[in-house]
Structure 1
Amino acid sequence: MAYAALRSLAQILHQTLNRDHQYLILDEKQQIESLVEKVSSIQDFLENSSQKITKHLERRIIDASYIAEDIIESHITDRIRSESARYEYGILEKISIRFNVIEKWIVSSPNPAYSGPSTLVSFDDFMDIEARLVRGSSELEIVSMVGMSGIGKTTLAKQVYHDSYIVQHFDTRAWATVSRNYNVQEILLNLLNSMGELTSKMHEMTSELLKERLYTNLNYRKYLIVLDDVWDTKFWDDVKQVFPNDKNGSRIMMTTRLENVANYANSCPPLHRLRFLSDGRGWILFREKVFGNYYCPLNLKGIGEKIVQHCQGLPLAIVLIGGLLSKATKTQHYWKYVSENVSLVTTSIDELCSNILSFSYKHLPSHLKWCFLYIGIFPEDYNIHVSKLVKLWVAEGIVKPVGSKLLEDVAEEYFLDLVDRELILIHEKKSNGKIKTCRIHDLVRDLCVREAQKEKFFHVTNGSLRGIQEGSSIDRVSIHRNTNTCDDKILSSPYVRSLLNFDCEVTVPEMSNMRLLKVLHQQGTLEFSNEIAEWVELRYLDCMSMHLPSISKLRNLQTIILRRDMRRPLYLSLDIWKMPQLRHVLLEYVILPDPSSFGIEGDRSVFVLENLQTLSLVMNFRCTEEVIKRIPNIKKLGIHYKDEEMDLEYYCRNNLVHLRKLESLKWINFGYSFLMNLSFPTSLKKLTLVEGGFSREDISIVGSLPNLQVLKLRSTAFFSQVWITNAREFLQLKYLLLENIALEGWRVDRTCFPKLESLVLKDCYDFVEIPDEIREIPTIRSIEFNGWVVQFNFSMVMAIGNDGPEDLIVNSSY
């Protein structure tokens, strides 16, 4: 049936090319020719390969073929009947994406070049969930996945959610993780944020207003909503009125451990129950985690297979053991030791997971144990910013100095080691490929909290000291959500050294006795008073506040992060130059004082900020020689020029080239031709330019930077309507963003962008097409063009398990 459907489509495509080509617009002829090649490739595979395809994949090929026929024939017919018919550019892109994915599934190499996060999802599970999302009734339906913790519900949901076929099928998508102690307002904000509809004002709205806003944004749109990790039937009562039923095929995908929760939400039957992995599939997952693309030595294979059997088919257990063994000595003696300890408890899955997690923790190197436990200080399902985690580790003093390395670099190595051991989950990546946010599995977090409180390392509370024994030390306290008050004993305790508050409003006067406080993180607004000047031990301060009091006595301060909802300038005092321990200063829209005000008396080296690595966002930054001398090791700088009438030379912008360790620069409102004759430091790896204008010479300055990997241009203007790149420009660039750019064309020399991986164009509505030279770059992985996303890496392998051949998705880019 699939072959016959492809044959019918092939005839339509050839007819369109040979007889109706005059009705094609722009590059549709090339797109159809490319589609012919894909269809032919799939036909050849079906005709000549001895390998059988699953019923789900056959159904997908048939559906895609029929949809393609309908789209092509209907649009050609409309164009023949009326010259004024609407020419919808990009309509063939949807078809091409579907067949591109199918082709790569069935004919691609089992060893893809893709090196992103690796997962293992049953192909049958994947296809079943996808089919239920895109087919069936036009009514709003709830598709639920049910299964125990660690079996892979969230992993499967992510694979489906980010699949290019699903992305194109729905008008909008949104994701929210619910968890046990959910907060309706936070969930609504997360849904709006993932839809790209969140504004700063929405944080001040009530839940009822947010529900109205979300309903409005979803109304009359075909949407996909993912509600991950739902624990309580009450949650559905709290949110169900938010989702309109416009009878357009919208879907809600829910993951839950509890069958009664799925049934209560009127999930479309049958519920999708995830199965345990067979030994064959479990072995593939284990081998990938331990050896990557390499083979397992024969002397370890038998022991490894026994370890997999002990894991009883639970993916989380296999991943954790694999992560442990990937870092350990690969000897028969050690593997036998692990096998024996894993098999000590096999009576229940819960005991098995607990045993494996404890085993993995106990076998961590000592320098990683505290770092690992510290992650439990964050709330359940919290998106942990890696940069924040690293700064906290450094401030807490749990990172051991290594030679001349920066403490932050050592901390990042610790973090990546924990990722390799599968104890930390990657959630989101930056444009440069580094990890932006992470999470930990609920079971892993439970272990962290349990062990941390046993070791008296930190205490997690909802605002009270219940559970803390009399006389116990409470050096670190983490206050989690769903509480409106905080126990006065915490706020008056002189023993608290670190306070991380993720929910309740705590003001400085209430914490006046905490004079030995080292770390303070406040999720909400913090109204300062003069008491902060007495916190001489403070190393880390992160809060939201409209003003900043005097910090001259905070001699140990390393990191200060002040979040503000206004662009009113914040004037810093000269004291900022007398704080040599400063490492990261993130104060939005600050005015930096002129250090020359110190005069010439005294030893100026005392006031050099040798440790300062981050400084942002500085208004009307004067890059004088005096400033350059005082921030010699700056790596990340954000500047905003607002005084457009000021003589440009006044800012001494040419001195930027002397910041020889600068890696990231964000430059806002840089003015027309502000880059003319400007030299950037060759160390620059990331450049963001916002609100300004370019000449051809300006962009060549940027293109010649030898180490530039990320370039973001937002609301900028080219003096020409066509961007012409010269030969051998942007040789190291991997990520390029053009947002709200008034360009009509782009001419690219074939020697440019040889390492480009991601191209994103947003709100570039005058832009006509992506140059062929860009699409043909060997390293390109994804192109996003005004909401259209094309991905280039997807592969499928066949795995032989105990129950026969099983289709597995091993690697998927999303």
Structure 2
Amino acid sequence: MAYAALRSLAQILHQTLNHDHQYLILDEKQQIESLIEKVSTLQDFLENSSKKITQLLERKIRDASYIAEDIIESHITDQILSESASHEDGSLEKISIRFDLIEKWIASSSKSASSGPSTLVSVDDFMDIKARLVRESSELEIVSIVGMGGIGKTTLAKQVYHDSFIVDHFDTRAWATVSHDYNVQEILFSLLNSMEVLTRKMHEMTRKLLRKQLYESLKHERYLIVLDDVWDTKLWDDVKQLFPNDENRSRIMMTTRLENVANYTNSCPPLHRMRFLSDGSWILFCEKVFGNYCCPLNLKEIGKKIVQHCQGLPLAIVLIGGLLSKATRTEHYWKYVAENVSSETTSIDEQCSKIVSLSYKHLPSHLKWCFLYVGIFPKDYNIHVSKLVKLWVAEEIVKPVRSKSLEDVAGEYFLDLVERNLILIHEKRSIGKIKTCRIHDLVRDLCVREAEKENFFHVTNRSNRSLRGIQEGSSIHRRRVSIRRNTNTCDDKIVSSPQVALGVLHQQGTLEFSKEVVEWVDLRYLNCMSMHLPSSIAKLQNLRTIILRRDMGPLYLSLDIWKMRQLRYVLLKYVILPDPSGVETEGDSSVFVLENLQTLSLVKNFRCTEEVIKRIPNIKKLGIHYNDEEVGREYYCLNNLVHLRNLESLKWIDFGLSFSRNLSFPTSLKKLTLVAGSLSLEDMSILGSLPNLQVLKLRSTAFFYQEWITNAGEFLQLKYLLLEDIAIVHWRVDITDFPKLERLVLKDCYELVEFPYKIGEIPTLRSIELYGCSGSIVNSAKYMQEERLILRNDGHQILIVNSRY
């Protein structure tokens, strides 16, 4: 039926274009031509798809075709009867959006479940929100998405927010998650950060100045603001003055569980109420359990019952799908699950909680502690995966596995939780690895309940002063206490409390090291703001991670740092590393070696002597900074970097030495960031010859000849390339260069006169991001995008992201 409907629509479109064209204006002719292409694509899909087409997809295509026919015929009739009829109803654009969404839905439905958890957003929901955001009204309008927890409000908002049409339609976009206990200053930071205008100086501004900064950044811009997870009408009173109304079709999109909140903001009626899934429930379930495969016949009936018990709630379907994707696929086990999620006389909220609990109870024991640990972070918190892994390792939650590092094992644990849909992917790094993650509110609630029950950690909103009371009142010692509060100071009474035996200390505010702090012999993880690090820190022989956030001058470490043999991560800003040749061995004939050290950053004027190299043999990530013009290059022994055979990531900031064309890097290097300094073509060839380099970032770096021409056989593994504020005028690229490049980012490359056209012929290229670039660069990139799609016809379109800041 869908194919027949498409054929009928195609005939009407051709009839309209060839015989009724006198009733169309130029823009409508172009839209008809675009629709013909979309219909042809869908016909090819139905003819050539190797997969069985679902009834839901058939119906979506059929209904869209019928609606399109009615609109087009009605439109032409109106024009024939009245020459003065308006051409501004946007009906053809709405048809185009509907078919765009069907194509997106097909693409997203065909992805494997391993690509990360997501709920199925219906085409109708997507189309409705998108149409509201781009409609002709010039006034600033609020579009509200309302629905219960777990129904997919945030997922819908994200998919619309990142849609390429929406990206192009608005000059600037910004996102802030609000949640229960919101903080206006944090909302301001979130909005400015997502607009990529947040600076370090702004962190020191008063709230009044921050409000002014945001308002001025939005003034005269057509903007889209997302306020996600709003719970209180007071929020709107606190922020509504931040958003100028320049009558330029700016929009605010809001998600909330409460209709009274949406109504209070004068949202554009009617409110968009999220509906429970019907036909889409089974599709989503099968995607999460089987990926690209179909449900076996012997499990289909039981599976349908399980889905029915989920009552159309996407979160429940995703979680139960994650559980079954990892479990044995037998009728006996599936019947057991069906019985345990029976929805008889159970509200939807209770049913979802039951499914969350079931997912937790069926986790392998080694994953339960890792999962509960995630609940220690606040609601709606963007959790850095690297930080989470450091905590798991520091707390010795991760089991050692022969031939694997603890970090690798922790990474496998993390991905297992992602595949079970208990952890949600939030942001990815330059080459696709997960950077930040989140957990759903309902899932976090379970984490906190179970953690309290197991005395794993305790969450309190009380001040630090009450910590002693919490400890004294506990019959069982609590090792982890997560304190939620707005102040950033540390109460000395806590750190001196004899009841506190900490394994992890993560202090948002400033921590003054007292003598009691360095007597916490159990401390494994230290993350705080402080201006100094006492030499007595070496007493903490169990310490694995030291993270000091600071903004002042260099920090001089004592020689005792070389005695802390358990250290894995040292992140200190502008640290001066002492010469280890003077370390006393205290009777040990072997030299003290930090064999576990994985990360060391940021070391000022780093001397890469043989003595240093042999003490950090397994370093994987290194950050170094030079600003000493008086001392010669040979003094720093930089050629010894090549002997760091496990080094994978190097950040080099150079305001004094400039890079050497005789410099050698270890072949293990996968990521290289160079800031300042200057490069010649010979230098670039050295970088291009690195056999494992996947990420290259060049910031504020001068090119001697203002021209970059790559040679054959260079950058064979490079996937991500960033050029920021680079003094380059000409960039020559051949079709054989960068054979694996996926993402290209250009920022503030004002002197670049033209875009390297042939870069569009790289088959792996997926996105080009342009920030602060000239109009000619943007236009040539978009032209290249169109040509590549026409010439290759491979279905892969390069996403062009253009921002003027």
Asked if these proteins are the same fold (TM beyond 0.5), I'd say: yes
Are the equivalent residues in 2 in contact too, given 1:666–1:689 (CA < 8 A)? Answer: yes
Secondary structure of the residue that 1:132 maps to in structure 2?
Answer: helix
The answer for the alignment partner of 1:185 in structure 2 is 185
1:258 has 2:255 as partner: no
The answer for the alignment partner of 2:360 in structure 1 is 361
Distance across 2 between alignment mates of 1:147 and 1:629: 59
Change in CA separation of 1:476 and 1:142 when aligned onto 2, cut-off 3 Å: farther
* Aligned with residue 690 of structure 2, among 695, 705, 710: 705
Structure 2 runs not aligned, ≥5 long: 1-8, 47-60, 73-95, 773-777, 787-798
Distance across 1 between alignment mates of 2:438 and 2:743: 24
Deviation for aligned residue 1:434: 1.1
Secondary structure of the residue that 1:585 maps to in structure 2?
Answer: strand
The answer for the alignment partner of 1:531 in structure 2 is 516
The answer for the alignment partner of 1:651 in structure 2 is 636
Are the equivalent residues in 1 in contact too, given 2:585–2:592 (CA < 8 A)? Answer: no
Are the equivalent residues in 1 in contact too, given 2:310–2:343 (CA < 8 A)? Answer: no
The answer for the alignment partner of 1:234 in structure 2 is 234
Are the equivalent residues in 1 in contact too, given 2:144–2:267 (CA < 8 A)? Answer: yes
Deviation for aligned residue 1:109: 10
Deviation for aligned residue 1:111: 4.5
1:470 has 2:473 as partner: yes
Deviation for aligned residue 1:237: 1.0
Change in CA separation of 1:409 and 1:6 when aligned onto 2, cut-off 3 Å: farther
Deviation for aligned residue 1:601: 9.2
Are the equivalent residues in 1 in contact too, given 2:171–2:221 (CA < 8 A)? Answer: yes
Secondary structure of the residue that 2:322 maps to in structure 1?
Answer: helix
The answer for the alignment partner of 1:194 in structure 2 is 194
Deviation for aligned residue 1:192: 1.0
Distance across 2 between alignment mates of 1:104 and 1:225: 26
Are the equivalent residues in 2 in contact too, given 1:522–1:542 (CA < 8 A)? Answer: yes
| CA deviations over 1:395-449 (Å, ceiling 9, x no partner) | 2222111224221211111111111100001111111311111110000000000
Are the equivalent residues in 1 in contact too, given 2:117–2:425 (CA < 8 A)? Answer: no
The answer for the alignment partner of 1:54 in structure 2 is 64
Are the equivalent residues in 2 in contact too, given 1:507–1:527 (CA < 8 A)? Answer: no
Partner amino acid for 1:506? Answer: C
Distance across 2 between alignment mates of 1:297 and 1:318: 18
Partner amino acid for 2:568? Answer: R
Deviation for aligned residue 1:245: 1.0
Deviation for aligned residue 1:688: 0.5
Are the equivalent residues in 2 in contact too, given 1:713–1:737 (CA < 8 A)? Answer: yes
The answer for the alignment partner of 2:704 in structure 1 is 719
Are the equivalent residues in 1 in contact too, given 2:366–2:398 (CA < 8 A)? Answer: yes
1:689 has 2:674 as partner: yes
Deviation for aligned residue 1:7: 4.6
Distance across 1 between alignment mates of 2:335 and 2:401: 34
The answer for the alignment partner of 1:315 in structure 2 is 314
Deviation for aligned residue 1:538: 1.6
Secondary structure of the residue that 1:607 maps to in structure 2?
Answer: coil
Are the equivalent residues in 2 in contact too, given 1:377–1:449 (CA < 8 A)? Answer: yes
Change in CA separation of 1:245 and 1:768 when aligned onto 2, cut-off 3 Å: same
Deviation for aligned residue 1:103: 10
Partner amino acid for 1:186? Answer: E
The answer for the alignment partner of 1:243 in structure 2 is 243
| CA deviations over 1:322-376 (Å, ceiling 9, x no partner) | 0001111111211111111111555210111011011111100011111111111
| CA deviations over 1:276-317 (Å, ceiling 9, x no partner) | 111x21111111111112222222222222211111110000
Alignment of 1:85-96 (within 5 A): none
The answer for the alignment partner of 1:451 in structure 2 is 450
Change in CA separation of 1:112 and 1:369 when aligned onto 2, cut-off 3 Å: closer
The answer for the alignment partner of 1:799 in structure 2 is none
The answer for the alignment partner of 2:583 in structure 1 is 598
Deviation for aligned residue 1:213: 1.7
The answer for the alignment partner of 1:88 in structure 2 is none
Change in CA separation of 1:110 and 1:270 when aligned onto 2, cut-off 3 Å: closer
Deviation for aligned residue 1:743: 1.9
Change in CA separation of 1:482 and 1:598 when aligned onto 2, cut-off 3 Å: closer
Change in CA separation of 1:38 and 1:751 when aligned onto 2, cut-off 3 Å: farther
1:297 has 2:268 as partner: no
Change in CA separation of 1:559 and 1:121 when aligned onto 2, cut-off 3 Å: same
Which fold has the larger relative contact order, with Cα–Cα distance below 8 Å and residues 6 or more apart in sequence? 1
The answer for the alignment partner of 1:506 in structure 2 is 490
Deviation for aligned residue 1:100: 12
Secondary structure of the residue that 2:159 maps to in structure 1?
Answer: helix
Are the equivalent residues in 1 in contact too, given 2:507–2:527 (CA < 8 A)? Answer: yes
Partner amino acid for 2:37? Answer: S
The answer for the alignment partner of 1:492 in structure 2 is none
Are the equivalent residues in 2 in contact too, given 1:38–1:99 (CA < 8 A)? Answer: no
Are the equivalent residues in 2 in contact too, given 1:577–1:595 (CA < 8 A)? Answer: yes
Partner amino acid for 2:534? Answer: P
The answer for the alignment partner of 2:209 in structure 1 is 209
Are the equivalent residues in 1 in contact too, given 2:288–2:322 (CA < 8 A)? Answer: yes
Distance across 2 between alignment mates of 1:752 and 1:781: 15
Are the equivalent residues in 2 in contact too, given 1:321–1:360 (CA < 8 A)? Answer: yes
Distance across 1 between alignment mates of 2:763 and 2:246: 43
The answer for the alignment partner of 1:219 in structure 2 is 219
Deviation for aligned residue 1:249: 0.8
Alignment of 1:198-597 (within 5 A): 198-278=198-278, 280-343=279-342, 345=344, 347-463=346-462, 464=466, 470-484=473-487, 504-508=488-492, 510-514=494-498, 516-550=501-535, 551-566=537-552, 568-597=553-582
Change in CA separation of 1:253 and 1:614 when aligned onto 2, cut-off 3 Å: same
Are the equivalent residues in 2 in contact too, given 1:763–1:786 (CA < 8 A)? Answer: yes
Distance across 2 between alignment mates of 1:431 and 1:47: 36
Partner amino acid for 1:456? Answer: N
Structure 1 runs not aligned, ≥5 long: 17-33, 63-96, 485-503, 794-811
| CA deviations over 1:533-575 (Å, ceiling 9, x no partner) | 3222221100111222221211111100001123x11111101
The answer for the alignment partner of 1:30 in structure 2 is none
Distance across 2 between alignment mates of 1:406 and 1:227: 40
Change in CA separation of 1:36 and 1:309 when aligned onto 2, cut-off 3 Å: closer
* Aligned with residue 614 of structure 2, among 626, 629, 636: 629
Distance across 2 between alignment mates of 1:470 and 1:107: 56
Deviation for aligned residue 1:792: 9.0
Deviation for aligned residue 1:3: 3.6
Alignment of 1:740-779 (within 5 A): 740-779=725-764
Change in CA separation of 1:576 and 1:38 when aligned onto 2, cut-off 3 Å: farther
> Which 10-residue stretch deviates more, 436-445 or 97-106?
97-106
| CA deviations over 1:179-201 (Å, ceiling 9, x no partner) | 11111111111111111121223
Deviation for aligned residue 1:778: 1.9
Secondary structure of the residue that 2:539 maps to in structure 1?
Answer: coil
> Which 10-residue stretch deviates more, 313-322 or 133-142?
133-142
Secondary structure of the residue that 2:713 maps to in structure 1?
Answer: coil
Deviation for aligned residue 1:680: 0.9
| CA deviations over 1:461-511 (Å, ceiling 9, x no partner) | 012468889343342344444454xxxxxxxxxxxxxxxxxxx42144641
1:733 has 2:718 as partner: yes
Partner amino acid for 1:211? Answer: R
* Aligned with residue 664 of structure 2, among 659, 672, 679: 679
Distance across 1 between alignment mates of 2:233 and 2:402: 54
Are the equivalent residues in 1 in contact too, given 2:626–2:657 (CA < 8 A)? Answer: no
Deviation for aligned residue 1:159: 0.3
Change in CA separation of 1:401 and 1:112 when aligned onto 2, cut-off 3 Å: closer
| CA deviations over 1:575-609 (Å, ceiling 9, x no partner) | 11111011000001001011122379964634100
The answer for the alignment partner of 2:770 in structure 1 is 785
* Aligned with residue 38 of structure 2, among 37, 42, 58: 42
Are the equivalent residues in 2 in contact too, given 1:781–1:792 (CA < 8 A)? Answer: no
Are the equivalent residues in 2 in contact too, given 1:670–1:689 (CA < 8 A)? Answer: no
Deviation for aligned residue 1:56: 12
Are the equivalent residues in 1 in contact too, given 2:480–2:504 (CA < 8 A)? Answer: no
Secondary structure of the residue that 2:672 maps to in structure 1?
Answer: strand
Partner amino acid for 2:547? Answer: I
Partner amino acid for 1:330? Answer: R
